[in-house]
């Protein structure tokens, strides 16, 4: 069976975008397990950037990683004004546009605490909040890789054998080392194909195809 070819090219308005992670608000909500309405409100309020294109608000891969940080901090009880203030301070200190999506965020613990503490509504930096921040930096971001030159996030290992890279398939989850999206695998299996058939057609081990399918099932089970 001949499977469809894959290309990272899309047109937004009159401009062609190649090799860039692009996410609609529902996409971003699905991948970060954050309700789409919540993501939409953060975008409208300016806590996450978005570009207009084809009547859609589009988020970048760096926005996707930033959303994980915002969601975790909100879960720890940090208000949005404090988060935005901290982002602004860190952006100025590290000279980057999106500080939540750079490698410095994993090593700048003291700077992050200071930035959050100087928010409009200062947060407690002891006890449970400190534990949340440590978990965020050491655990939640352990699967994010950063470019050595720019320091920007360039890969997110979301599942065993599954990664998200902005330069592959518009940043959709793919089987690691391939251009085959997890959604593609799920669609074929749901349509009646077997893992063995896909393994032969794609040249990918059954174990990796199974992981891709399970990842999509996991996302669907947590869809808002």
CA–CA dist 126, 121 (Å, integer) = 15
The pLDDT of residue 136: 82
Pseudo-torsion of CA 56, 59, 60, 66, nearest 10°?
180
CA–CA dist 118, 95 (Å, integer) = 19
Is-contact 219 31, C-beta < 8 A? Answer: yes
The pLDDT of residue 50: 63
CA–CA dist 108, 103 (Å, integer) = 9
CA–CA dist 214, 201 (Å, integer) = 19
Full-model pTM: 0.85
Please check the confidence at residue 71 and state whether its pLDDT lies above 50: yes
Asked which of 50-54, 122-126, 147-151, 171-175 is least confident by mean pLDDT, the reply is: 50-54
Q: Which tens digit of pLDDT belongs to each residue from 18-60? A: 555 889 999 999 999 899 999 998 888 777 766 554 335 789 9
Length reported for the chain: 224
Q: What one-character-per-residue DSSP string does the chain give?
A: -PPPP---EEEETTEEEES---B-HHHHHHHHT--HHHHHHHHHTTSS--EEETTEEEB-HHHHHHHHHHHHHHHTT--HHHHHHHHHHHHHHHT-S-GGGBTHHHH-HHHHHHHHHTSSSPPP-STHHHHHHHHIIIIITTTEEE-TTT-BEEEEEEETTEEE-TTSGGG--EETTSS-BHHHHHHHHHTT--HHHHHHHHT--HHHHHHHHHHHHHHHHT--
Architecture of domain 153-224: Orthogonal Bundle (1.10)
Q: How many CB atoms lie within 10 A of CB 43?
A: 19
CA–CA dist 132, 116 (Å, integer) = 13
Structural domain boundaries in the chain: 153-224
Among 26, 46, 66, 39, which Cα is nearest to 153's?
A: 66
The pLDDT of residue 51: 58
For the chain, percent of residues with pLDDT exceeding 90: 55
Is-contact 17 56, C-beta < 8 A? Answer: no
The pLDDT of residue 133: 79
Q: Give the tokens for residue 140.
A: 């939640």
Region 54-71: mean pLDDT is: 83
CA–CA dist 219, 185 (Å, integer) = 14
The pLDDT of residue 125: 52
Region 98-107: mean pLDDT is: 93
């Amino acid at each position: 069976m001949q499977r469809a070819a894959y290309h990272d090219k899309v047109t937004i308005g009159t401009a062609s975008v190649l090799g860039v992670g692009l996410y609609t608000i529902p996409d971003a909500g699905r991948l970060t397990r954050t309700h789409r309405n919540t993501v939409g409100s953060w975008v409208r309020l300016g806590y996450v950037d978005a570009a207009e294109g084809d009547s859609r608000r589009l988020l970048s891969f760096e926005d996707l990683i930033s959303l994980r940080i915002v969601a975790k901090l909100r879960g720890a009880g940090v208000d949005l004004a404090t988060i935005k203030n901290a982002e602004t301070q860190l952006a100025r200190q590290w000279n980057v546009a999106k500080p939540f999506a750079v490698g410095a965020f994993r090593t700048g613990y003291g700077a992050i605490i200071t930035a959050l503490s100087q928010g409009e509504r200062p947060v407690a930096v002891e006890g449970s909040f400190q534990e949340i921040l440590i978990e965020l930096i050491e655990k939640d971001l352990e699967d994010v890789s950063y470019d050595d030159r720019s320091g920007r996030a360039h890969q997110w290992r979301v599942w065993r054998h599954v990664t998200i890279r902005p330069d592959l398939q518009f940043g959709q989850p793919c089987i690691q080392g391939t251009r085959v999206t997890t959604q593609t695998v799920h669609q074929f299996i749901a349509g009646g194909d077997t893992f063995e058939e896909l393994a032969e057609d794609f040249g990918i081990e059954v174990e990796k195809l199974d992981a891709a399918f399970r990842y999509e099932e996991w996302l669907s089970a947590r869809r808002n």
